[in-house]
Amino acid sequence: MAGTDNNSLDGFVGRDYAAGFVTNIEADTLPPGLDEDVVRFISARKDEPEWLTQWRLDAYHGWLEMVEPTWGQVQFPAIDYQSISYYSAPSGDHPKTLDDVDPELLATYEKLGIPLHEQAALAGVAEAQQRPPVAVDAVFDSVSIGTTFKETLREAGVIFCSFAEAVHDHPDLVRKYLGSVVPRGDNFFAALNSAVFSDGSFVYVPENTRCPMELSTYFRINERNTGQFERTLIIAERGAYVSYLEGCTAPMRDENQLHAAVVELIALDDAEIKYSTVQNWYPGDADGRGGIYNFVTKRGACRGDRSKISWTQVETGSAITWKYPSVVLRGDDSVGEFYSVALTNNHQQADTGTKMVHLGKNTRSTIISKGISAGQSSNAYRGLVRMNPGAEKARNYTQCDSLLIGEKCAAHTFPYIESRRPDGIVEHEATTSRVSDDQLFLCRQRGIDPEKAVSMIVNGFCKDVFRELPMEFAVEAGKLLEVSLEGAVG
Amino acid sequence: MNLLEISDLAASVGSQPILRGIDLNVCAGEVHAIMGPNGSGKSTLANVIAGREDYQIDRGRIALEGQEITTLSPEERAHRGLFLAFQYPIEIPGVSNMEFLKAAVDSHARASGDAEITAVDFMQMARSAAEQLGLNPEFLKRGVNEGFSGGEKKRNEILQMLMLKPKVSILDETDSGLDIDALRIVANGISEFTNPTNAVVLVTHYQRLLDHIEPDFVHVIANGSIVRSGDHSLALELEEKGYSWLEND
C-alpha cells in the first residue's frame, strides 16, 4: 500500500497467485526426453489407430528439421527439449465416470472454483439467477479426467469429449479435420505438439444446432518438469453455434514449464464459433523466476459462406506468451473477430496478436487489442491483415491500444498489412497511454485506494474486450486483472 | 471550531521553494477565498493540503478538525472529510461516472465503518445531485470527464463534492472555463451545499465567482506567503487595483 512514497506508480511487491498450489497425487510420468519411442509410447498409451501414430511420427520428423522461431519480441534461455517429460497422468486406470475420479483431483478443481459435479453446477445455477450451467472438460497434465453434462449435450446432438475419446468414438471426424487448419509443419511448436500431444477437447456441433450451454475446458499443469501439449478441435456444421471457453492455471515453481497447444476451429456455412480464453498460467515470481512458457498456435477456418469465428482472450498469466489466434476467411461474407486483453507485470513477456487472412468476397474482420504493461514487463502486439486477390471488398478494422503502468515497462506494436485488393479497406488505429499520476491522484483524493484505482482504470481501458466475454467470465476477468495488478503501485 | 488549521507551512518541488510559511484557519460555517496572481502558489497550497506527493513539505503542519494530517495519504485525508475540486479535471476513459462515484462513496463508508449505500439509494442520490447542477442523468453513464466540455468537467467536480459531503472543500479555480449561466449554476450548487458544519475554500484568480458566493474572508497569496487578509471588500479592491497594487505595497 502506498502511503507517502515518492513514486506512486513505481515499485513492485510481488503478487498473489491463488492457483499456485500443488496437488499431491501419484502420477505415471515418462522420464525426460524425446525420441520416436516417446511418440510411439504416447500413441500406444492412448490406444491410437495406426494412421494417427504415423501422423505423429511424420510431425516428429518434420520437427527435427525445424528451428525455434526467433522473430518474437521475447527473450528466454534456450529450451532443452530433452529435459522435459512429455507425458504425465494420474496413476491407475482411467476413470470411466466422474464418480471414479480420485477425490484429491476433484478437490483440486473445487479449490480452483471449477464445478465438476453436475449436481453442484446445477445447484449453483439457482443462486446465480438461472444462468445456464457450463459443461466442463477437465484436463490434468496430459489427460482429460472427466467431462460434465455429456448426456444433456448428446441429446442435442453435440459431441463434447476429450480428444482421446474422440479418436476412438469419432475417428472419421478426427481424421477429416485434424491438422486441416494448423498443418503439422505449420511452425516449430505446432510440429512439436502434433508429435506429442496428449489430450485436449473435442467439440462437434451438428447442422442447425445451437449448443444448449457454454462449453469449457479447464487446463491444469500439476507435475514438475512436464510440458502440456493439448489439442483442441471444434467443428461447427452448417448453421451451428457454439460458445467455448478455456481456462488455465499451474502451480508456482521456480523452473519454467512449457505449454505448447494447438487449437483448430472449423466453421461451415452460416456457423458461428465464439472462443474465449482466460489464461492465468503461473507467471513466475516478482524477480522473473519460474512461470509457464505459453507457446500456442490457434487458428480458425471460416470455411463456409457467412460463417463467423470470434476469438476473445484475456491473457494475464505465463512468464512468456507467444500466441496469435487467427482466422482464415475463406467463405464469402465470413467474419473474423479478435478481442484481446494482454496484461504483463513484473518480468512477464508477451508477444501476441492475430492474423486475419481474407480470401473470400466481402469478408470482414475486426481486431481490438488492449495491452497493459506494468513492472519491468514487455508487451507486444503483432498482427497481420492480409487481403488476397479474391477478397473482393474485404474490410478490416484494427484498434490497438497500449497502457503503461510505471516507468520500466515496454509496449510494442507490430502491425503488418498486405492488401492485394484495390477495393479492400483496412483501418488501423493505435494509441499508447499511461496510468497517469493525475488519474491516480484524482481517485485517491476521492478516497479510492491506489490498488483499487489502478484496477478500475485498467478495467475501464479493457471495457471493449470484456463486453465480448460471456457474462460470468467477464466478472472473473475483471477480478483476475485486479489480482494480477496487485503490487503494481508502490 | 477550527475545521482546517495550517501553520507555518512551507513546501517545495525539487529544490524550488513554492510555499514559504502559510498560516490559515478555517472554521465551520465559513467561506474563504484565496486569491493571487499566476504562479503565486495558490494551486500548490490546494494540492499540498490534499496530500499530492509531487510536493515536499519542508516544515509546518496541517490539521483537520484538530487532528494532524500532514503525513497522511491522500485517501486518508479524503476519508476524514477533505475534498479538492481540480483545476484541470482529468479523464478516466471507460470508467463510468456512476462507477467512479460509487467507488468513492463506498470507500468513504468503509473508512468510517458505515454500511455501503444500496445501489438504488445511490442512483437516486446521484440523479438528484446531477439535476441540481443542470446535468442530464445520461451524464452519469459517460466515462469520467471523457469528452466532457470544460464546463461539464467543472460541474462534475461539484457533483462529486455533493455526493461525498466533505467537511472542508477546496475548490481550485472552479470558476475558470465556465460561461455566465454555468457559473451561476455551479455557484448555486456550492452555496446550497454550505452549512454551519462545513467550510469552503475558494481558490480563484478573479473576483467574479465571489459575486455569487459571498466569502467571509479573503486572503491574498504572493510569492508563497499570505500577504494580506480581509473581508470581501479586499477582493473588490484587488479587482479594481490589480495584483501589482500589493506587490508595490
Over residues A73-117, the pLDDT tens digits come to: 888 888 888 888 888 776 666 666 666 667 776 777 676 666 666
Is residue A226 classed as helix, strand or coil in its secondary structure?
strand
Averaged over A207-232, what is the pLDDT? 82
Return d(Cα B172, Cα B43) in angstroms, integer: 7
What pLDDT does residue A124 have? Answer: 41
Rounded to 5°, angle at Cα A240 from A236 and A246:
55
The ipTM assigned to this model is 0.95
pLDDT greater than 60 at residue A1? no
For chain B, the residues whose C-beta falls within 8 A of a C-beta of chain A are 50-54, 71-75, 77-79, 83-84, 86, 89-95, 99-100, 103-104, 107-108, 111, 143, 160, 164
Q: Which residues of A touch B90 (CB under 8 A)?
A: 436, 438-439, 442
- pLDDT score at A69: 87
Mean pLDDT within A266-273: 97
Q: Which pLDDT does position A43 carry in this prediction? A: 92
Which of A355-369, A376-390, A473-487 is predicted with the least confidence, judged by mean pLDDT?
A: A473-487
* Among B77, B92, B111, beta carbon nearest to A460: B92
Angle between helices B150-164 and B119-132 (to 10 degrees): 130
- What is the pLDDT at residue A66? 93
Instruction: Answer whether residue A110 is part of any domain.
Output: yes
Q: Is residue A478 part of a domain?
A: yes
d(CA B131, CA A141): 58
- Of A68-72, A73-77, A132-136, A323-327, which one has max mean pLDDT? A323-327
Distance CA A137, CA A162 (A): 7
Q: Please state, in angstroms and rounded to a whole number, the distance separating the CA atoms of residues A67 and B202.
A: 68
Number of domains in chain A: 1
In a domain, A447, yes or no: yes
Handedness of CA A75, A76, A80, A83 (dihedral sign): negative
The pLDDT value given to residue A18? 67
Q: How far is B54 from chain A (nearest CA, A)?
A: 7
Note whether residue A97 is domain-resident: yes
Q: Which residues of A touch B (CB under 8 A)?
A: 2-6, 8, 436-439, 441-450, 452, 456-457, 459-464
Per-residue pLDDT reduced to its tens digit, B225-249: 999 999 999 988 888 888 887 765 5
Convert the pLDDT of each residue in B90-134 to its tens digit: 999 999 999 999 999 999 999 999 988 888 899 999 999 999 998
**A1 occurs within a structural domain:** no
Contact A261, A228 (CB under 8 A): yes
**Any idea how long chain A is?**
490
Q: Return the minimum-mean-pLDDT range out of A165-174, A290-299, A462-471.
A: A462-471
Q: What is the mean pLDDT of residues A396-419?
A: 90
Nearest to A179 by CA among A163, A190, A189: A190
- The SS3 call for residue A371 is strand
Three-state DSSP state, B21: strand
Fold held by B2-247: Rossmann fold (3.40.50)
Q: What is the pLDDT of residues B13-55, one digit of tens each?
A: 988 999 999 999 999 999 999 999 888 999 999 999 999 988 9
Residue A389 lies in a domain: yes
Task: Please state the domain extents for chain B.
Answer: 2-247
- The whole-number pLDDT of residue B243 equals 80
CA distance B244 to chain A (A): 33
Q: Which residue has the higher pLDDT, A180 or A13?
A: A180
pLDDT in the model for residue A223: 67
Q: Is residue A2 part of a domain?
A: no
Place of cell 458461428: A272
Q: What is the pLDDT at residue A280?
A: 81
pLDDT of A470 reads: 75
- Computed over every residue of chain A, the mean pLDDT equals 83
Q: Is residue A289 predicted with pLDDT exceeding 60?
A: yes
B91 to each of A104, A109, A444, how far by Cα in Å? 49, 41, 14
In a domain, A426, yes or no: yes
Q: What is the span of the domain harbouring residue A195?
A: 27-484
Distances in Å between the alpha carbon of B66 and those of B2, B51, B61, B171? Answer: 7, 17, 11, 21
Model confidence at A154, pLDDT cuts 50, 70, 90, reads: confident
A303-312, A353-362, B182-191: the lowest-pLDDT one: B182-191
